[in-house]
Amino acid sequence: MTNPPKTSRLVIVTGAGIGIGQATAKAFASAGDHVVVTDILEREGAATVEAIRAAGGSAEFAYYDVRSTAATDALVTDIESRHGRVDVVVANAGIAHRTPLGQLTDDKWDLTFDIDLKGIFRLARAVAPGMRRRRAGSIVALSSIMGVAYGWDEHVHYSAAKSGVVGLVRGLAVELAADGVRVNGVAPGYIRTALSEENSLGPVGAEAAADFIPMKRLGTPEDIADVIAFLASDAARYMTGQVLVVDGGLLVGRY
């Protein structure tokens, strides 16, 4: 297992096997941080680690299901015991499945909330004690424009969960601020990922979205990763409780 450089931060990124999570893991690693790449997609997560190491970065993979409190606590305990701390958490793991209201069962609703909202809460709760003791730490949670401004047809469960992330960010930020821990969020617009093209929008819908985005393109995972890296950096040292919309001008262009 790769040991982090002594001067690096220890960063956990969830859902880092693909998409925004993968780009974010690479962004932190390129800045010299040691990244714990977590996902339930073991092959993809391992590939992210390999790519980081091939580029000269420092990373390790940990299988992690954000639905499990026991797994969350074990992950944080293990990292803190081996590395001494967790400096940054990027709570990115999420799902989005198109489901008409009439077919939206309790189980599907609960699954979306368990991953997209409660998964963030579990990890924040687990890392908070250590961050508070050290009086330093940054948590960045992924919301969505569907959680801050849009209602999304046949995605009631997703919009509701991502709205919940906004409230979670604000509540955590206020509770942890005096102890030196910052909590912020990012609300991506239409981003070219497997989540948008395969699960929800579909490739045709994704391409059509570019027509009404003022910047005339879908975002890339790297567009989001760079903003996440900023929020976790000292450049954002006086920011907490904020959810930054990164959408190519979509919201301001349509409202």
Active site residues: 158
Instruction: Give the Cβ contact number of residue 206 at 10 Å.
Output: 18
Q: Which region holds residue 204: left if phi is over 0, alpha if psi is between -120 and 50, else beta? A: alpha
Rg (CA), the chain: 17
Q: Which residue's entry shows tokens 């010299």?
A: 32
Burial class (CB in 10 A: 0-12, 13-18, 19+), 114: middle
What's the per-residue H, E or C state across 112-148? Answer: HHHHHCHHHHHHHHHHHHHHHHHCCEEEEEECCHHHH
Burial class (CB in 10 A: 0-12, 13-18, 19+), 52: buried
Local structure of residue 86 (DSSP, 8 states): -
Which sign does the torsion angle of CA 25, 30, 33, 36 carry? positive
Q: Which residue's entry shows tokens 């955590």?
A: 172
Distances (CA, A) of 193 to 22, 109, 203, 204, 237: 11, 22, 10, 13, 30
